[in-house]
Amino acid sequence: MSYKIFIPRDSSSISLGADKVYQEILNEAKKRNIDINIVRNGSRGLFWLEPMIEVETSKGRVAYGPVSISDITSLFEIEFFLGNTHPLCLGITEDIKWLKNQERLTYARVGITDPISIDDYERLDGFKGLKNSLKLTQENIVKEIADSGLRGRGGAAFPTGIKWKTVLDAPSEKKYIVCNADEGDSGTFSDRMIMENDPFVLIEGMIIAGLAVGADQGYIYLRSEYPHALKILNEAIAKALEKNYLGENILGSDFSFNLEVTRAAGAYICGEETSLLESLEGKRGMVRYKPPLPAIEGLYGKPTVVNNVISLATVPIIMDKGASFYADYGMGRSKGTLPIQLAGNLKQTGLIEKAFGISLRELLYDFGGGSATGKPIKAVQVGGPLGSFLPEEQFDTPLDYEKFSEIKAVVGHGGIVAFDDTVDMSKMARYSFEFCAIESCGKCTPCRIGSTRGMEVIDKIKEGVDQEKNVSLLRDLGDTMVNGSLCAMGGMTPFPVLSALNYFPGDFGLEKTET
């Protein structure tokens, strides 16, 4: 009989040696004449345990991790393929507390199957949302998405249903669906995990979006730093075409939709939707003035839905289980779940999909297990490089768009980066300006010049030059950038800078500052 073993194939697990572990297990099984069947599944997102391998047993899947090549002989000796105990054994995968305490809706399939097996996708409820949608009118699909309360998961949290309605109502022969897969925020990898571990859910979401608004062409604008995701997406698109989920007259309907992946080229600013559209059109990724909104005049001047990967990948489950199923999760106006990414200096890093409302403290300590270095956590940055730094006294804030906004912070794309007490927050503030200077598109003055001037002012404060005057200048500069920039790049860079200054004045050589 053949034993079924799961070894992840996503780029993070591979970055920790999953391919070598796979090869070694194959070799060892051959040597010992053991018949094994290896499935290269996606990662479950418990990255401190990767490479985490699983075996199928009558009790369910049993996990072992983190496995290194030197563990393989001993694993075979105890016959791990039967689910036997071993120092690396983590028990039944589904019972691991970290996984058990999540609410995986968008990520329901992630880590379970071979990402590019369309049969597995269908078997695990895949394309049910599309099949339901094909029976509905466009207005009713859009209504379902609006009723679910889904908001843009890229960071801006704009209601997805309203965006779709605007595109649906815009009269035009040609419309586009653009997926923003330019996931450039540090501390975020949830888009990559969807694309590498369950690409069909994104494809299905885009098809439904096309059906809902009347678009026949979709583009996935994928960052060039994700070569692995590019391969997987292209393989998945080819399979979906073969089975007529894409192409002409999808599943016998009169709806046709084509999808392609466009490789970006390493510009952070192209995660901003109008800059992304310029780039897709083959131009420099310079931010556009708004209005007109992309929903009215987007790609090539046509009405365009620009949605983040997670927003689109959440559409299938809403169309499968219904708007109220999804809206029952969450709190206040933050409905549903958010894929939270724990990164930086934490013992247990990875992906947690949870209903809105969980506190930072629960995430950092219950899930994250505290800092990796064992030192106190001094600050966390939530929502990428443009998000505020938060000190311990803010750790009880529940993850909710409005609650975060009240403390001048953002949930953004759900990335959380933790720093221990060795971090110099003035250095982080300076880095925020440096990053802005490197990545600014240069179109508006506050962002282009303010970022460089900001670095200089921080240097002066740290050198002790006219501190009072320079702190006030820094605040004034922040105000100019927030109110005078065209987009969030310049408009939000002051968030991390000023939060670092306000919460950690000591790191700037200041006693205290007026906020």
Asked if 499 is part of the footprint of other proteins (rule: CB under 8 A), the reply reads no
Half-sphere CA count of 458, side-chain side, radius 13 A: 26
**Residue 473: Cβ within 10 Å count:** 17
Tokens 């209601």: give the residue. Answer: 159
Is there binding between residue 381 and other proteins (CB under 8 A)? Answer: yes
Q: Which residues contact 496 (CB under 8 A, 6 or more apart)?
A: 381, 385, 386, 387, 388, 389, 428, 429, 432
CA–CA separation, 221 and 265 (whole Å): 10
According to CB under 8 A, which one of 123, 284, 290, 469 is a site residue for other proteins?
Answer: 284
Site track 34-73 with other proteins (rule: CB under 8 A), x = hit: -----------x-xx-x-----------------------
Per CB under 8 A, does 188 bind other proteins? yes
CB within 8 Å of 341: residues ≥ 6 apart: 187, 188, 189, 190, 350, 351, 352, 414, 415, 416
Minimum separation from the CB atom of position 350 to other proteins (A): 5
* The one among 42, 154, 339, 350 contacting other proteins by CB under 8 A: 350
Cβ proximity to other proteins: between 24 and 191 the closer is 191
98, 367, 401, 435: residue in contact with other proteins (rule CB under 8 A): 435
For position 279 contacting other proteins by CB under 8 A, the verdict is yes
420 touching other proteins, by CB under 8 A: yes
- The CA distance from 435 to 51, in Å, is 32
Residue 395 as a binder of other proteins (CB under 8 A): the answer is: no
Rule CB under 8 A: is residue 172 a binding residue for other proteins?
Answer: no
Sole binder of other proteins in the list 71, 120, 183, 273 (CB under 8 A): 183
Q: If binding means CB under 8 A, how many residues of this protein chain bind other proteins?
A: 62
Beta-strand pair 337-344/415-420: parallel
CB of 436 to other proteins, least distance (A): 11
- Written as six digits, the tokens of 444 are 């508006």
Q: Is 16 in the site for other proteins (CB under 8 A)?
A: yes
Tokens of 366: 């219950």
Nearer to other proteins, 343 or 390 (CB): 343
Contact letters (x/-) for other proteins, 299-338, by CB under 8 A? Answer: -x--------------------------------------
Q: Could you tell me the smallest distance in angstroms from the CB atom of residue 150 to other proteins?
A: 23
Please state, in angstroms and as integers, the Cα–Cα distance from residue 427 to each residue in 345, 432, 455, 473, following that order: 17, 9, 10, 18
Asked whether position 437 contacts other proteins by CB under 8 A, the answer is: no
User: How far is it, in rounded angstroms, from Cα 114 to Cα 7?
Assistant: 10
Interface residue with other proteins among 266, 292, 376, 464 (CB under 8 A) is 266
In the complex, what is the shortest distance from the CB of residue 55 to other proteins, in angstroms, rounded to a whole number?
24
374 near other proteins (CB under 8 A): no
Residue 504: strand, helix, or coil: coil
Give 164 or 504: the residue with its C-beta nearer to other proteins. Answer: 504
Residues 36 and 29: beta-carbon distance below 8 Å: yes
Q: Does 218 bind other proteins (CB under 8 A)?
A: no
- Any contact of residue 429 with other proteins (CB under 8 A)? no
Within 370-493, where are the H helices?
Answer: 401-406, 425-439, 445-463, 467-484, 488-492
> Measured from the CB of residue 443, what is the shortest distance to other proteins in angstroms?
11
Structure tokens at 455: 């670095």
Task: Judge whether 422 and 374 are in contact, CB under 8 Å.
Answer: no
- Residue 221: helix, strand or coil by DSSP? strand
Amino acid at 265: A
Nearest to 304 by CA among 215, 171, 222, 221: 215
- Applying CB under 8 A, the residues found at the interface with other proteins are 11-12, 14-16, 45, 47-48, 50, 183-189, 191-192, 223-228, 262-268, 279-285, 300, 341-345, 349-351, 372, 381, 385, 415, 417-420, 423, 428, 431, 435, 438-439, 441
